[in-house]
Amino acid sequence: MKAYYLIIVFVVTTIAGYKVIKDVPSLLHTPLMSGMNALSGITILGALVSTAAAVRTGSKILGVVAIIFAMVNVAGGFCVTHRMLKMFKNQPEEE
């Protein structure tokens, strides 16, 4: 994949993201943010690839640390977002 394709991907998704996120009401901004937070753990992909390819022991260790960091971010982020969203109810009687 050529470098400029990647830059096009970056620009297109940033605009698409901007459009969908603008529609999220401020009522849900905290769950949105922690959801986005979980998504920023997508860097796990980079951590996995570079750890697997690393030859030096030092790099390997750093790589595993990166995987742990990113995974805490992903798992924790999605779980806590789920926890929060479950609390938003319209009629409390429906419990």
Partner 1 sequence: MSNSLYYTLALICVIGIIWGIRLMNSPKTAISGNLLGAISLSITVILTLLKYGILSDYVLWAGMIAGGLIGYYISIKVTMLKIPQMVALFNGLGGGASGLVAIIILAENHNIENLFIKITAVLGLIVGWVTFSGSIVAALKLDQKISQKPIQLKKHNLIIGISSALTCIIAILLIIKSSGSLLFLTLLLLANSSIWGIILTIRVGGADMPITISLLNSLSGVAGAVTGLAIYDPVLVAVGGIVGAAGLILTQVMCKAMNRSLTSILIGKTAVAYGKNDSDKAGVAFAENDINREKAIKQESEEEKIKRIIEEAKSIVIIPGYGMALAQAQYIVKGLYEKLTDEGKEVKFAIHPVAGRMPGHMNVLLAEADIPYDSLFELDDINDEFSSTDLVIVVGANDVINPAANTAEGTPIYGMPILNAHLAKNIIIFNKDTNPGYAGVQNTLYELDKVILKLGDAKDTISEVFGV
The pattern of x and - marking residues 65 through 94 that bind partner 1 according to CB under 8 A reads xxxxxxxxxxxxxxxxxxxxxxxxxxxx--
| Nearest distance, CB of residue 15 and partner 1, angstroms | 8
Determine if 57 is a binding residue for partner 1 (CB under 8 A): no
- Please, where are the H alpha helices in 41-56? 44-53
| Nearest distance, CB of residue 12 and partner 1, angstroms | 8
| Nearest distance, CB of residue 7 and partner 1, angstroms | 7
Contact between 40 and 69 (Cβ < 8 Å): no
Contact between 57 and 73 (Cβ < 8 Å): no
The pattern of x and - marking residues 17 through 36 that bind partner 1 according to CB under 8 A reads xx-xxxxxxxxxxxxxxxxx
DSSP 8-state symbol, 89: -
